Amino acid sequence: MGFFIGHSVGGGTGSGLGALILERLAVDYRKKPKIVFEIYPSPNLSTCVVEPYNALLATHWLLDHTEVSLLLDNEAIYGICQKQLRIAKPDVGNLNKLISKVISAMTSSLRFSGELNVDLNKFQTNLVPFPPDVSIAPNDVQKITDDCFKPANWFVKYTEFDPAEDKYMAISLNYRGDIKSKEANATVQWLKSNNKVALAEWCPTGFKIGLNEVPAVTLESDDIGAFSKNAIMISNNTGISRVFSKRITQKYDMMYSQRAFVHWYVGEGMEEGEFA
């Protein structure tokens, strides 16, 4: 049906090899959707000094070779582990468990029958071609839905999120567990009537709902306790533009104005004109 791919855009292998694999898939399987989970540069955590170069070059590539890009950032997920899950010293394993729960919830409709199922093509159709962000919440229906819209539960850190200014363009809510479509639709109406969600004027409907009655499995070493219901929100918000402008392009311009580290890329076979 399509491809799920996870890679980093800040590191050399994630951005370089990741982009190359995506290009090959685009050539060999042109019509198949490619849904990609990308670890993007965080506001304060950095994995390598040339991260802005790698991230911008990879993003330029992703525009042509992916259908849906889901941004994740380590700092935001560390924050969820520490503040929401009370894990004193989260490691990569804790972060990956949270990401895998999101991917599991997104693919549950392909693996189990449900009342309102969402396939890979519907993600592409309903999320508009802009990079969405992801959030997760387990508990009762109204609360889990409300929690999905709180920046503390998002997998991308928005440094200056303004609910009045930053509008949602599309929202996909995927519920797992004993949740009926009547409950889900009533919750969406509750969100709208209580001004919990500001939708872009040109897309007033904005919601896609997926329902699957099979709850998520709990592993022995799980960070999150067992729960009968959970929700994953994949949304498109105009605030995502700041992730690109402030975290990547500004730093990229500062480094490239001094031609810092450019010789390493040129030495590997790139042309300096590609930077411009």
Number of domains the chain contains: 1
CA R_g for the chain: 19
The mean per-residue pLDDT over the stretch 65-79 comes to 91
Gap between the Cα atoms of 9 and 42, Å rounded: 11
Q: Which band of pLDDT confidence, cut at 50, 70 and 90, is reported for residue 79? A: very high
Please give the Cα distance from 109 to 93 (Å, whole number). Answer: 25
* Tens digit of each residue's pLDDT (9 = 90 or more) over 115-130: 666 667 777 766 655 5
Residue 58: which domain range?
3-275
The answer, yes or no, to whether residue 246 has pLDDT greater than 90, is no
**DSSP-assigned letters across all residues of 32-63:** S-EEEEEEPPPSS--S-TTHHHHHHHHHHHHH
Angle between helix 51-65 and helix 12-28 axes, rounded to 10 deg: 10
Which tokens sit at 265?
Answer: 């890329």
pLDDT at 52 over 90: yes
- pTM of this prediction? 0.84
User: Structure tokens of 276?
Assistant: 């411009």
Q: Find where tokens 């099979």 sit.
A: 214
Tell me: the pLDDT tens digits for 81-90? 999 999 999 9
Q: What percent of the chain has pLDDT over 70?
A: 95
Measure the CA–CA gap between 7 and 182, rounded to whole angstroms.
37
Residue type, 92: V
Q: For position 247, which CATH number holds?
A: 3.40.50.1440
pLDDT beyond 60 at 131? no
7, 34 Cβ separation under 8 angstroms: no
